[in-house]
């Protein structure tokens, strides 16, 4: 029988429910359990694919092309299992399914209502993941207890206790214990109120995870235990941690996994956390400083680049490098270059994006990196920008551009493929999800991946225009990876540069803390040699640490 853990949140958003659920998932997986996860989002959009990154952060893409909430990225990085579209449902997608069934006549003339029809659809989504080869499904309910929008989700997960049986369901509630400066105290009242709110919906949490700046003492835990009617061993503290990947170890120290397993009748298993602990040791021992600039449009909201940042850090862990990220607004690049203020970077990333704003700045950054031997990784739009830069400045194609940004350009070096030209519904034209690429022998890409046939996730419409491939290659820009049929350029690299590499894919989505995406690892390695070359002292200290 598959067990269910439901993670809800209270008091404030952004407390790290996703990380808490993911960390618990990792701890259960470390006990040999087969874990999967899902997220319910209370908004009406059918999926986050059409939402502005400024508002919603990154859209995380799954193998099967799902455009999902960024929390799924945390899930995958922590539990190290590929998820699918089925792991994310929004209010919009649930209503869409119910309304389609209603139009189809499936309700046989009945009045369609939130209870039972919407709640049944929510439960169907939960049960769909509870397959024979899954031991535990962890479901995170987005939003905060008390929000109007999450009531159907709370009602559905409440019903699950009876449906699946008491011993098969566990509720974990994540709240905030704020520190109030003037009184010098940590306050339990918001947690009490939040638990009361949850109980008014019929859910008594089995465990509460208390987020706080500083550790919480025993007296406060006892108070919360008493007032919230949660056993003391289910009152768990997760104070702010220096890095995300430490959180599973903190929750384990607090006994959360043991407690949850007791409730679910899984306590005969002991976790093996050795490899995770050594990962955390490695992270904490990362000392060589590397400065990487991320040249983007959404830099005022770093959540928009969540997986890129994580993949970059993973690359750092592998090389014991402490990555210092500099967020650079693409529109500011030309001004920064005029003032000579990009040369201090050890490397740069030009990430994915949509829309024209900042494109010229990204092209200028790619040019500067190429001329000055600064390691540069272009991701999706980043590759398109690199190709444009190269065609303009090395092939002399004045005004070369992507047709996305200049529909009348004389040199559409990046363009829609023929099959997509006449499609008017943009919603149907993205290349989404996992696609294969064949890497050319002897290229940097092949060396980094160590394999000839690789798979990465995609999310874009435009491709490198094949008409420009031969001249680009003649001038030294190699198309180092192609789709197996040879029609699509998947990777490019400059032969004569330490690292000027672009990919049409989004390798950041498959990166794991202990298994960095090869291109990010390659970028960090190249950036480290630039840093060391510029600062011989760094070289000495890294040599000492090797001794």
**Catalytic positions, written as ranges:** 380, 506, 508
Closest CA to 375 of 263, 532, 262: 532
Of 153 and 520, the one with the shorter C-beta distance to ligand GLN is 520
Size of site (CB under 6 A) for ligand GLN: 10
Residue identified by tokens 């990465």 is 456
Each residue 231-270 as x (binds ligand GLN by CB under 6 A) or -, in order, gives: ----------------------------------------
**CB contact at 8 A, 66 and 303:** no
Strand order in the sheet with 453-460: 321-329, 288-296, 347-350, 376-379, 500-503, 489-494, 477-482, 431-439, 453-460
**Shortest Cβ 458–ligand GLN spacing (Å):** 8
Of 297 and 530, the one with the shorter C-beta distance to ligand GLN is 297
**Shortest Cβ 384–ligand GLN spacing (Å):** 6
Residue least distant from ligand GLN (Cβ)? 352
Stretch near ligand GLN under the rule CB under 6 A, chosen from 175-183, 320-328, 458-466, 514-522: 458-466
Q: Which structure tokens are listed for 238?
A: 């997760």
The reply on whether position 354 binds ligand GLN by CB under 6 A is yes
59 in helix, strand or coil?
coil
**Shortest Cβ 521–ligand GLN spacing (Å):** 21
Of 362 and 392, the one with the shorter C-beta distance to ligand GLN is 362
Of 31 and 411, the one with the shorter C-beta distance to ligand GLN is 411
Q: How far apart are CA 389 and CA 370, in angstroms?
A: 10
**Shortest Cβ 404–ligand GLN spacing (Å):** 5
Of 178 and 502, the one with the shorter C-beta distance to ligand GLN is 502
Of 66 and 352, the one with the shorter C-beta distance to ligand GLN is 352
Ranges assigned E (strand) in 145-267 = 169-176, 179-180, 185-186, 207-212, 235-239
**CB contact at 8 A, 378 and 359:** no
Of 151 and 385, the one with the shorter C-beta distance to ligand GLN is 385
The reply on whether position 362 binds ligand GLN by CB under 6 A is no
The reply on whether position 73 binds ligand GLN by CB under 6 A is no
The reply on whether position 413 binds ligand GLN by CB under 6 A is no
Of 283 and 432, the one with the shorter C-beta distance to ligand GLN is 432
The reply on whether position 502 binds ligand GLN by CB under 6 A is no
Q: Which structure tokens are listed for 389?
A: 């830069």
User: Could you count the other beta carbons within 10 Å of the beta carbon of residue 132?
Assistant: 6
Stretch near ligand GLN under the rule CB under 6 A, chosen from 246-254, 263-271, 350-358, 443-451: 350-358
Among 95, 462, 468, 500, binds ligand GLN (CB under 6 A): 462
**Shortest Cβ 461–ligand GLN spacing (Å):** 4
The reply on whether position 381 binds ligand GLN by CB under 6 A is yes
- DSSP lists the bridge partners of residue 41 as 90
Q: How far apart are CA 412 and CA 406, in angstroms?
A: 8
- How many residues belong to the chain? 547
Among 17, 314, 460, 530, binds ligand GLN (CB under 6 A): 460
Closest CA to 276 of 45, 78, 493, 524: 78
Query: b/e per residue, 341-354, with b = 16+ CB within 10 A?
Result: ebeebbbbbbbbbe
Which residues, 6 or more positions from 305, have their beta carbon under 8 angstroms from its beta carbon? 58, 294, 296, 298, 299, 351
**CB contact at 8 A, 47 and 146:** no
**Shortest Cβ 520–ligand GLN spacing (Å):** 16
The reply on whether position 459 binds ligand GLN by CB under 6 A is yes
The reply on whether position 327 binds ligand GLN by CB under 6 A is no
Residue identified by tokens 């089995």 is 206
Stretch near ligand GLN under the rule CB under 6 A, chosen from 158-166, 312-320, 338-346, 349-357: 349-357
Closest CA to 482 of 474, 492, 472: 492
The reply on whether position 404 binds ligand GLN by CB under 6 A is yes
Q: How far is CA 374 from CA 346, 497, 533, in A?
A: 6, 8, 12
**Shortest Cβ 415–ligand GLN spacing (Å):** 10
**Shortest Cβ 63–ligand GLN spacing (Å):** 16
Residues 76-135 that bind ligand GLN (CB under 6 A): none
Closest CA to 224 of 250, 184, 251, 194: 194
Burial class (CB in 10 A: 0-12, 13-18, 19+), 393: middle
Residues making contact with ligand GLN (CB under 6 A): 352-354, 380-381, 404, 459-462
């Amino acid at each position: 029988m598959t067990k269910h853990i439901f993670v809800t949140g209270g008091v404030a958003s952004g407390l790290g429910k996703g990380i808490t659920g993911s960390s618990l998932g990792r701890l259960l997986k470390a006990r040999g359990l087969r874990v999967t996860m899902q997220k319910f989002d209370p908004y009406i959009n059918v999926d986050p694919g059409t939402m502005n990154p400024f508002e919603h952060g990154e859209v995380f893409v799954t193998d099967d092309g799902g455009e999902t909430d960024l929390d799924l990225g945390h899930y995958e990085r922590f539990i190290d299992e590929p998820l699918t579209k089925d792991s994310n449902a929004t209010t919009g997608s649930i209503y869409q399914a119910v309304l389609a069934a209603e139009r189809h006549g499936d309700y046989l003339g009945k009045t369609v209502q939130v209870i039972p029809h919407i709640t049944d659809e929510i439960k169907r989504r939960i049960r769909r993941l509870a397959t024979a080869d899954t031991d535990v499904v962890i479901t995170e309910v987005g939003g905060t207890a008390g929000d109007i929008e999450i009531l159907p989700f709370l009602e559905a997960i409440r019903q699950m206790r009876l449906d699946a049986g008491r011993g098969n369901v566990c509720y974990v509630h994540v709240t905030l214990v704020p520190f109030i400066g003037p009184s010098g105290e940590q306050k339990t009242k918001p947690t009490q109120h939040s638990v009361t709110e949850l109980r008014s919906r019929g859910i008594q949490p089995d465990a509460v995870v208390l987020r706080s700046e500083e550790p919480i003492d025993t007296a406060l835990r006892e108070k919360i235990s008493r007032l919230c009617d949660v056993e003391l061993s289910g009152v768990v503290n997760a104070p702010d941690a220096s890095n995300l990947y430490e959180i599973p170890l903190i929750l384990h120290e607090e006994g959360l996994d043991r407690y949850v397993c007791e409730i679910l009748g899984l306590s005969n298993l002991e976790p093996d956390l050795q490899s995770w602990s050594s990962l955390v040791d490695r992270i904490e021992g990362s000392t060589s400083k590397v400065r990487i600039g991320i040249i983007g449009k959404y830099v005022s909201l770093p959540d928009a680049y969540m997986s890129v940042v994580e993949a970059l850090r993973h690359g750092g862990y592998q090389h014991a490098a402490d990555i210092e990220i500099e967020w650079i607004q693409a529109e500011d690049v030309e001004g920064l270059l005029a003032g000579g203020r990009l040369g201090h970077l050890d490397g740069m990333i030009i990430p994915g994006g949509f829309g024209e704003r900042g494109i010229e700045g990204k092209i200028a950054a790619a040019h500067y990196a190429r001329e000055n031997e600064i390691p540069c990784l272009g991701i999706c739009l980043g590759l398109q920008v690199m190709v444009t830069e190269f065609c303009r400045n090395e092939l002399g194609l004045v005004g070369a551009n992507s047709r996305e940004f200049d529909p009348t350009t004389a040199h559409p070096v990046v363009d829609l493929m023929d099959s997509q030209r006449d499609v008017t519904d943009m919603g149907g034209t993205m290349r989404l999800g996992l696609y294969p690429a064949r890497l050319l022998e002897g290229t940097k890409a092949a060396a980094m991946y160590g394999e000839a046939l690789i798979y990465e996730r995609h999310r874009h419409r435009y491709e490198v225009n094949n008409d420009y491939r031969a001249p680009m290659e003649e001038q030294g820009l190699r198309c180092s990876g192609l789709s197996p049929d040879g029609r699509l350029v998947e990777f490019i690299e400059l032969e004569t540069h330490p690292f000027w590499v672009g990919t049409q894919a989004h390798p950041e989505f498959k990166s794991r803390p202990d298994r960095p995406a090869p291109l990010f690892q390659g970028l960090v390695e190249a950036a480290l040699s630039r840093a060391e070359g510029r600062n011989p002292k760094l070289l000495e200290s890294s040599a000492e640490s090797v001794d």
